[in-house]
Amino acid sequence: MMNTVHIDLCPVCANNNCPETLICKDHLVTGELFSVHRCSKCNFAFTQNFPCEEEIGKYYDAPEYISHSDTHQGFINSLYHQARKISLKSKTKMASKYSSETAETLLDIGSGTGYFLNAMRRKKWIVTGIEKSETTREYAHKKFGLNIQDSEYLFKMPDRTKDVVTMWHVLEHIEKLNDTMANLHRILKDDGVLFVALPNKKSADAIAYKEHWAAYDVPRHLWHFSPDDFKQFAEKHNFKIEKMKPMYFDPFYIAMLSEKNKGTSTASLAGLFKGSLFFIQSLFNTRRCSSIIYILKKK
C-alpha cells in the first residue's frame, strides 16, 4: 500500500469543503488516476491523496521528464530546448531588472541541471541552488561546477540573506507548501524579490483541455493555482504581488502535450495550431496565460 498525503483543509484558506473537481491521469509514467479537488471558498485546487515525499520518486522516473534531463530527442523536446534558451535570457534580465541596484545574492530553488544559476553567476551574482534530486545535483556539479544543496537547506538558511529567490515551475511540486513560503519570506532581505513561475489553471488552454490539460501533471504537480488564489496565498505569507508576466512559450508546449494526452493523432501539429490561438489570447490578458511569472515583494 502506497503512503499518500490526504488533504483535509484547504492549504490556502483552511476551508474544509474541497470537493473533487476533475480526475486526471498520470500520462508520463504510470497511467494512474488522481483526483483534483477544489476549495469551495477560495478556488485553490490540489491533487488529492498524492504520493508522499518518500514514494513520489518513481513518478519522476521518465526520460521525457525534460526539466531534469538534457535529452534532445524528438520534435517537442527540440522545440523545448530552443524555447529554453530564449526564456533563460529573459529570466536573467528579469532578475536584474526587478531587484535593487545593490542586489548580489540569489537562491534558485529547484535549480535542476543548473543552466539558470550558471547564467546568473556569469553576470557576477553570488548564486546558491537547491535541488532535491541527487543525480541532478551531480549533473550540475559536473557540467558547471556548481555546488547545489539538498531540500533541507532552505530551512537551515539564516534570516534576511538573499536579494533574489527564484522558483521556476517548482512550487507546484513541493509538499511543504506553507512551510516553504514562510521560509522564503524569512530568508529574503526586506527589499528582496521573489520570482515564482506557475501554471495557471484559469488559463485559456486549461479551460479548453480540462482533465487533459498537461500542466495538471498529476501526481507531480500537487498544487494548482490561478492568479486569484495565488494572490491570497502570497498575502497570507506577507508578500504582495508586484507584477505578473506571461510565459510566452508555455501555451505551445502545453497544447502539444495536452493534444497527445487526448490521443490526437497529429498532436504536435494540432498543439502548435491551438497553442498559437492560446498565445494570442494571452497577449491581451496575462491572467489567461498558460503559465505566469509572479514577481513578489515583502509587504
Can you give the binding site for Zn ion, defined by CB under 5 A?
Answer: 10, 12-13, 15, 39, 41-42, 44
CB of 4 to Zn ion, least distance (A): 21
C-alpha cell at 293: 511569472
In angstroms, the CA 69 to CA 67 distance is 6
Measured CA distances, 286 to 18, 33, 134, 219, 251 (Å): 27, 31, 35, 26, 12
Nearer to Zn ion, 40 or 92 (CB): 40
Mapped onto helix, strand or coil, the DSSP state of residue 299 is coil
Nearer to Zn ion, 46 or 209 (CB): 46
Q: What is the rounded end-to-end Cα distance, in angstroms, of the chain?
A: 44
Mapped onto helix, strand or coil, the DSSP state of residue 178 is helix
CB of 13 to Zn ion, least distance (A): 3
CB of 43 to Zn ion, least distance (A): 7
CB of 38 to Zn ion, least distance (A): 9
Nearer to Zn ion, 10 or 188 (CB): 10
User: Do 249 and 81 contact (CB within 8 A), yes or no?
Assistant: no
Nearer to Zn ion, 12 or 167 (CB): 12
User: Do 135 and 60 contact (CB within 8 A), yes or no?
Assistant: no
In angstroms, the CA 88 to CA 68 distance is 15
Nearer to Zn ion, 224 or 288 (CB): 224
Nearer to Zn ion, 41 or 68 (CB): 41
Nearer to Zn ion, 12 or 234 (CB): 12
User: Do 48 and 80 contact (CB within 8 A), yes or no?
Assistant: no
CB of 269 to Zn ion, least distance (A): 39
Nearer to Zn ion, 77 or 232 (CB): 232
CB of 12 to Zn ion, least distance (A): 5
Q: Is 121 exposed, middle or buried (0-12, 13-18, 19+ CB in 10 A)?
A: middle
In angstroms, the CA 221 to CA 212 distance is 14
Torsion angles phi and psi, residue 208, rounded to 5: -70, -40
Radius of gyration for the alpha carbons in the chain, expressed in angstroms and rounded = 18
SS3 for 32-96 is CEEEEEECCCCCCEEECCEECCCCHHHHHCCCCCHHHCCCCCCHHHHHHHHHHHHHHHHHHHHHH
CB of 225 to Zn ion, least distance (A): 11
CB of 3 to Zn ion, least distance (A): 25
In angstroms, the CA 172 to CA 87 distance is 19
